[in-house]
Structure formats: C-alpha cells, structure tokens
Amino acid sequence: MDNLRHFYGLKKDPFPQNIAIKDLYPLPALAPLKQRTFFAIAQKAISVITGDVGSGKSTSLRYISS
C-alpha cells in the first residue's frame, strides 16, 4: 500500500482497516440495522449479522455502539 500512496501522492491510507467513527458516512441503511440491533438487545435475543468479507459488518457494529 505504501507504493500506491507514494505513486498517487496520498498522505494516508485511503482504505484503513479501522476507520474512525467520525469519518464514516452515515448511510441510510444503518438506521434499520441500528433499530434491529437495539431491539434484539432489549429482547435479550440472539442476533446474527452476515455479509461478505469486507462488507462492513464490524464497522457497522462499531458505528452503532458509539
């Protein structure tokens, strides 16, 4: 990745593994995920979030928990 940053003159990695929550774009699709997650917690239910590798499952949960 350092070669790409140097080639394009970037100061930082454009695709970090752990992007800061403040730098996330609040997608409309996160609202229902947040509601369903809080509902599952309130019901003390088991909930599963599935998706392809790199689709943002962990990042979405970090966003919701912040």
At 32 the pLDDT is: 93
pLDDT of 44 above 90 = yes
CA dist 33 and 29 (Å) reads: 7
**3-state secondary structure string, the chain?**
CHHHHHHHCCCCCCCCCCCCHHHCCCCCCHHHHHHHHHHHHHCCCCCCCCCCCCCCHHHHHHHHHC
pLDDT of 41 above 90 = yes
CA dist 10 and 14 (Å) reads: 8
Q: What is the pLDDT of residues 5-15, one digit of tens each?
A: 889 998 888 77
Domain ranges of the chain: 15-65
pLDDT tier, 1 (very low <50, low <70, confident <90, very high otherwise): low
